[in-house]
Every structure is written in structure tokens, then in C-alpha cells.
Structure 1
Amino acid sequence: MSRVLTRLAAILVAVGLFFTSQSLTAPQQAAAADPGYLMVHFIGEGATNQQMYLSHSTDGLHWSDLNGGGMVLRSTIGTKGVRDPALVRSPDGSKYWIIATDLCISCGQDWNASINNGSRNLVVWESTDLVTWSQPWLLNVAGAIPDGRNAWAPEAIWDPQTNDYVLYWATNVPFNGKTKHRIFYARTSDFHTISAPQIYIDRPGAQEIIDTQIIEMPAGVGDYRYVRASGDGQITLEGSNSILGTWTDLGNLSGIGLTGAMVEGPMWMKFNGQNKWGLYLDQYASSRGYMPVLTTDPSNPASYQTQAAGNYNMGGTKKRHGWILNLTAAEESRVLARWPNTPAQRLQSFNFQDRYVRHANMDVRIDQNVTSDDAKFRMRPGLAGTGTVSFESVNFPGYFLRHANYDFQLVYNDGSAQFAADATFRQVAGLADPTWSSFQSYNHPDHYIRHYAYQLRLDPITTATGRSDATFRLTS
């Protein structure tokens, strides 16, 4: 009788797996009422592509670029480039951190230099609301590693056993006769200070490991509380019941035709309200960015299903090594309001129509025939009041046109009421031509944005020349 029951159970499991595999090839979109997903990523090489970008999805498979596909955070420190970001939310949801590789390939270092004498720092931003971010800071994680030569691909996960974060990353280091990338870890509670780094993952022989990401499993799924996916010549899966405990090799994804020679940068996500996970993989070998594979059991390599191109869409920009956050409804509302797809525009002078407002070394002026991103702004809802506008830089997101002592500079938004007032204006009919625009100061309403000797100023306007100087046109 027991053999009959066992055989019947096996048949039922097989039937269940058949229907599960069918559902994975044609995933259903999450209910419209469910909050969606936020991906932080970079998009390629070059100074502007190795910065922080955001994308949003309602179903975890079809992605839309936020902020018109433009960067949302720019590193102004270290190498002035960032890659491989992780987005960490505190357990109580009161803080968020973005931690990223301090690396700018083809805009400061080549690959050889970055491997053998790269930055030992990570770049970190902090936020309390997911939309207003601190200025970045450098966190030296590899400086204390003897002959540690770089710090790449950081990740972090909350450890409930010790009530802090396990921060882990790859460093190229000679050890035991082999110079290669190994995964190191340290503990931190604030991403300002860390414990002494220790080796976390070291593959045998000369095999390197650079990318690894851990996801926590709910009870009842698989045999492990944690599953990690790593780029180590394959996309290797391992399971453990403790973040710093013993990890069991579960196999790799070569059985579904995905090897480490093709893909890297594994990035997990959990589908809302479903026992289904996505593992996004960066198709670096073919320069195509991320693709998803889906599973109902991350610990079982045989359960993963690749997706037909028509079943997913990555949006307008190439998505590369990043992190996916399942949003709450409040987080989603804030994120979508902060980074709508507002077009980038230039401000053209009325009386010098070959000149446009631009920033240079954070000073603001009008220059001739400038088409670079220095002369492009996104006109946002005013920081200080309804019915007003503020001008955010395209190539320095978070920086706004702000007056101080009636002079204009490009300044990072510190979140203060004074900053908001100084960076807010009322768009009115052009003082020299009503088909153009003028911009009245929010906190000095008798003053307007105008140029004088080609410098941007905030002045009272009393003459015909002043009215012409204070008139502009928004143009692409």
C-alpha cells in the first residue's frame, strides 16, 4: 500500500511540475493593485553610462526607463563612475542605501589597471525615502586586505542572527599562490564603518569568482533558507541555512544552456503574491544586457526556464548588473512622482538666440550654440510650492539651478526649505515677448532670472534691456 501511495504522489508531483513549467513560459502579469518593482542598474561603458539608472516594472518582466532613460544619481567622487549597484532597504523601511563599484572603464582606467590597481573603495548613497539621496561617500573595504587590488560588485544582506548587514564584494588578491578575485565580507550597521574583511568565497585553483547575490527563501520552498547565485565560470547555485554558515553546491545553469562564458551579474527578484522567482542574467558576451530565467524553486537548477524574447521587455536602455527591489505602494508612488519621463530641454536666450543657459564648473551662464548635456535641464514641479517649477540638471541629477546672493549656480539639493525656495520659480509670459517665458523668483517675487554679461543672475527688471535679458524659450 505504501508503494502505491508513493507512486501516486510521484505522479501528482510530476503533473504539478508539468503545469508549473507551462505557466513559467507564459507568466501572468501581477494584479494591477499590486505595487511593482524597482531596478537600479548601469547601462554600459563611458562616463555617463557608468552611473545610476532606475527602471520600473508592474509585472517584473516588462520594464520602463524612469527619468526619460537618464541617470538619476551621478558619482562625483573616486573614479567618478559607478557600476554593479545594490539597493539595500533596512528591515524597518526607514533607510535605504545604494552601494556600488567605484569604477569608470574608458573614462579613467582600462580593465588591466582596474583589475591590478583599481579603487579599493565602494561608493555609497543613503536615503530615508528612496527619492532624496545624500551626497555619495567612499567606503574603503579592500584597503585592509593585504595586497588587495580592487573592490568590485558589492552586495549586502541583513543578518537577523546579529542584527547587522553582511556586506560582501570581490577583491583581486594574491593568496595561497594564486592571484585572483575572491569574495570577501565584513559586517556593518551603517555603511560608514565595517569590521575587518575576511574571505567569504574562494573557488579551487585559479577559478575566479566576482559576482554573487543571495536571496532569502520563504518557509516551505526548497531545503534552504538562503540561495546564492554566483558567476564563477558558470552560474553556480548554492544553498545554506545561515548567511555565513556552510553552503552546499546545488549545481549550475549549464543544463539550460547558460554558462559563465555567456552571462554574468546574477540578480534575483521574487514575484509579488506568487511562489515564483526570476534570476536576471547579464548577457555580457553578446552585449545584450539582462535576460530573465524563471523558477518556482531557486535551489533546483533543473527548474529554471529561459524566456522567449516576446515574454519580456527590458525597456529603452540596456540594463546591466544591478538590483531589484519589491516596492511598497507608498515607495512606488514616491518613486514614480520623483522620476517621471520629463523631457530634457534647453533654455534659449531671447535677445541672443544663439546662446543657451548652461553650467560650467557649477557656475551658470549663457553660451553660444551649446548642445551638450551641460545645457539640458528637466523642468520639475517646483520644490517649494504648487504651480511653480524647478530646473534639474540632466547630467548632474539632484543638482538644481539655485540663486544665492542673486547669483546662479548648479547646486545639489540638500532637502532644506531654504534650498527649495531658492530653486523654485513661477513660469510667466515672457517679459519681452508673451510667446516666450520668464521665470519669477519664488522667494523674491520682484526678481527674475536674467543674464547679465552672459552670467545668469536674479534681478529686478525695470528696463527694456532687462526684459529682453529675462526672457527665454524652452526648446529641445
Structure 2
Amino acid sequence: MKLNQFLSSIILLCFFISCNAQKEVYLFSYFKGNGEHGLHYAYSKDGLKWETLHNDKSLLTPEVGEQKLMRDPCIIKGGDDKYHMVWTTGWTERGIGYASSEDLINWSPQELIPVMEDEETARNCWAPEITYDQKKDEYMIYWATTIPGKFPETQSDMDSGYNHRMYYVTTKDFKDYSETKLLYEPGFNVIDASISWHDGKYVMILKDETREPAQKNLKVAFAENLTGPYSDASKPITGKYWAEGPTMLKIDNQYIVYFDKYTDHQYGAVASKDLKNWTDISDQITFPKGTRHGTAIKITQAQLEKLKSIDKK
């Protein structure tokens, strides 16, 4: 009887350890300064309080592009169980950075994907993101670009004359890519789109970049298919402050959109249970000082412990 009780205790202990290792926590990838130092991580167990990893030092130094920056890093877990990352490599590039990893620590050689090479006048490729399409087993990479002369109805001389729209390519293997196409034309200067699958539809959180009169807020659009068409943008879900770089998590029964209050040099957040009615919860969150435009994902407690172990080596 005692032996059976002992074995039962061992089984329960192993079960507890296994469950704890698989418990979900949250990882935030971001950049600091101008992006010259590279990739930074923070973690959270509740989605509200975020703490730095690796003593807030860069885990990956940018190597591609003319300016060799690593701004706006976006990391997702793909259908192949690998992590895929894209980022802005410079202010005036016609390509974006890409690398993959199996453990969020060791990354493949960095590549420059020339997504706008056929648009000789394209001024930039900013804030790229990736979304995995499970139905098609393929990835969509999308970003904001200004092509001079296009969309003159929303052209402004302010903000250096940038007039962005969202463009995309698709790929199954990050080797062969589709031709570049227009993803979203909402009738205004748009940037910083972030798309995820929730409640049977694709949800796009986007920034209205209109300068005259100033918007600089976040809005929401929906689609049945990843490549669209997307609905008209909603009313602003953020306040009178200027916001950019949204990323969204669903934690328990609510959605949280984190964003960079870039003129206030701090991070903010809004929350919703239905993706329609939003409440500002910026006073409930804390982020490491200097955090800039990043992406939040779910990882396991075991993965977090591996990331923490880097500092001990």
C-alpha cells in the first residue's frame, strides 16, 4: 500500500511539473533607440507587468540592409514549429529582414527579402509583419510602403511627404515568394498593420497615419481571408495621444492591444472582450524603459526558463 502511495505521489509530481512547464507565459520582442543594437526580449506572466530578459541587452545584431537596423521586429510561431521573424532594416530600404529560429535564441543567417525591388521609386518598407494562414499552410508578409504619385487624394507635404499603403507577399517556405500586391487601401495614409485570427475571422489592427488633420490613432478592420478584402476601418480604439506599432494578445476572455505611445516615450494598451468596445488600460501595464514597437506572442514556461538561462552562461 505504501509503495502504491509513493508511486502515485511520483506520478502526480511529474504531472505537476509537466503542466507547469507547458503553462503559457508571454514574450515581447522589441527594439530600442534607432534599432542599431538589434533584438530585445521582455516577458510577462499576466500580460500586464513586463520584465526584461538578457539584462535588456540585444540577443541578435542586425547584419543586412544598407543601414543595418533591426526596427519593428515581428516574431510568430509557424506551422513548421519554427519561429519566423521579419524587421525593418532601414529608413529607405526596398526590402525587409528575415531570419528563423527553433528556440528563439539561435537564429538562421539573416536575409534581405527584396519585396519592393520592382518598384524603383518606392521610398521605404516599414514595420513588416508575418501571419500564418493555417488553411493554406502559407505565410503572408506585409508592410507599409510609400510609392510617390500613388493615392494623390491623401498626399500631404507634412511627415516628409510619406503616403503609405499596405502591401504583401505570400510564401510557403521563405525561399519562393509571390509577386507583391496591394493589401489594404482604406482611403487614408495607413501603416503598422498587425493581423491575427480570432473568433472565425482575421482581425487587422492598423494605424491611421493621417497628418492633416492629425489622426495618429489605431483602428480595426476584419476579413474572412488573410489576403482580404478587409472591411472599412473602425472608429479609433485609442485616445488623443499618438499611437503606433500595435500587437494583440488574447488573455483569458479579453483581447489586449499593446502599442507605442511614441511621442510620450512610453507604452500603452487597450482591452476589449468583443473587438468592438475598447477600454484604455495603459495605467495597468508596465514595460521596460525604452521599449519601442514590438510583437507579443505566447510561449511556455519551459521556453521562458531556457531564455532566462542565457544570462547564467
Using the size of structure 1 for normalisation, the TM-score is 0.55
1:63 pairs with one of 25, 44, 50: 50
2:23 pairs with one of 25, 28, 34: 34
CA shift digits 1:47-72 (9 cap, x unpaired): 33xx2100011111101100001111
Letter in 1 for 2:189: E
SS of residue matched to 1:174? coil
Q: Does 2:313 correspond to 1:335?
A: no
Aligned match of 1:279: 257
C-alpha contact (below 8 Å) 2:269/2:282 kept by paired residues: no
Letter in 2 for 1:129: D
C-alpha contact (below 8 Å) 1:139/1:191 kept by paired residues: no
Aligned match of 2:247: 267
1:170-209 alignment runs, 5 A limit: 170-176=144-150, 178=152, 180-204=163-187, 207-209=188-190
1:122 pairs with one of 72, 85, 96: 96
Structure 1 residue 189, shift from structure 2 partner: 1.9
2:271 pairs with one of 288, 294, 300: 294
Structure 1 46/125 Cα, relative in aligned 2: closer, same or farther at 3 Å?
A: closer
Aligned match of 1:313: 286
The structure having more radius of gyration, on CA atoms, is 1
1:204-215 alignment runs, 5 A limit: 204=187, 207-215=188-196
For the residues of structure 1 that align with 2:177 and 2:94, how far apart are their CA atoms?
Answer: 14
C-alpha contact (below 8 Å) 2:196/2:203 kept by paired residues: yes
Aligned match of 1:88: 76
SS of residue matched to 1:331? helix
Letter in 2 for 1:62: K
Aligned match of 1:241: 224
For the residues of structure 2 that align with 1:42 and 1:196, how far apart are their CA atoms?
Answer: 29
CA shift digits 1:278-324 (9 cap, x unpaired): 10111012222x212111122x0xx2111252x22113x32211111
Structure 1 87/177 Cα, relative in aligned 2: closer, same or farther at 3 Å?
A: closer
SS of residue matched to 1:334? helix
For the residues of structure 2 that align with 1:138 and 1:33, how far apart are their CA atoms?
Answer: 34
SS of residue matched to 1:155? strand
Structure 1 residue 177, shift from structure 2 partner: 5.4
For the residues of structure 2 that align with 1:162 and 1:97, how far apart are their CA atoms?
Answer: 17
C-alpha contact (below 8 Å) 1:35/1:332 kept by paired residues: no
2:84 pairs with one of 90, 97, 105: 97
C-alpha contact (below 8 Å) 1:139/1:193 kept by paired residues: no
CA shift digits 1:146-190 (9 cap, x unpaired): 522211110111123322111111111024453621110111123
1:148 pairs with one of 122, 125, 138: 122
Structure 1 308/144 Cα, relative in aligned 2: closer, same or farther at 3 Å?
A: closer
CA shift digits 1:434-471 (9 cap, x unpaired): xxxxxxxxxxxxxxxxxxxxxxxxxxxxxxxxxxxxxx
For the residues of structure 1 that align with 2:285 and 2:247, how far apart are their CA atoms?
Answer: 16
Structure 1 169/177 Cα, relative in aligned 2: closer, same or farther at 3 Å?
A: closer
C-alpha contact (below 8 Å) 2:22/2:300 kept by paired residues: no
1:422-441 alignment runs, 5 A limit: none
CA shift digits 1:415-449 (9 cap, x unpaired): xxxxxxxxxxxxxxxxxxxxxxxxxxxxxxxxxxx
Structure 1 62/244 Cα, relative in aligned 2: closer, same or farther at 3 Å?
A: same
Structure 1 residue 92, shift from structure 2 partner: 4.1
Moved more, 244-253 or 275-284: 244-253
Aligned match of 1:19: none
Structure 1 residue 145, shift from structure 2 partner: 2.7
Structure 1 98/263 Cα, relative in aligned 2: closer, same or farther at 3 Å?
A: same
Letter in 2 for 1:266: P
1:45-60 alignment runs, 5 A limit: 45=34, 47-48=36-37, 51-60=38-47
- Number of aligned residue pairs: 277
Structure 2: tracts of 5 or more residues without a match = 1-19, 156-162, 209-214
| Aligned-residue RMSD, C-alpha | 2.2
C-alpha contact (below 8 Å) 1:276/1:295 kept by paired residues: yes
Structure 1: tracts of 5 or more residues without a match = 1-30, 104-113, 220-224, 343-379, 381-476
For the residues of structure 2 that align with 1:65 and 1:186, how far apart are their CA atoms?
Answer: 33
C-alpha contact (below 8 Å) 1:186/1:197 kept by paired residues: yes
Structure 1 137/237 Cα, relative in aligned 2: closer, same or farther at 3 Å?
A: same
Letter in 2 for 1:195: S
Letter in 2 for 1:258: G
Structure 1 residue 252, shift from structure 2 partner: 2.6
Letter in 2 for 1:331: Q
SS of residue matched to 1:333? helix
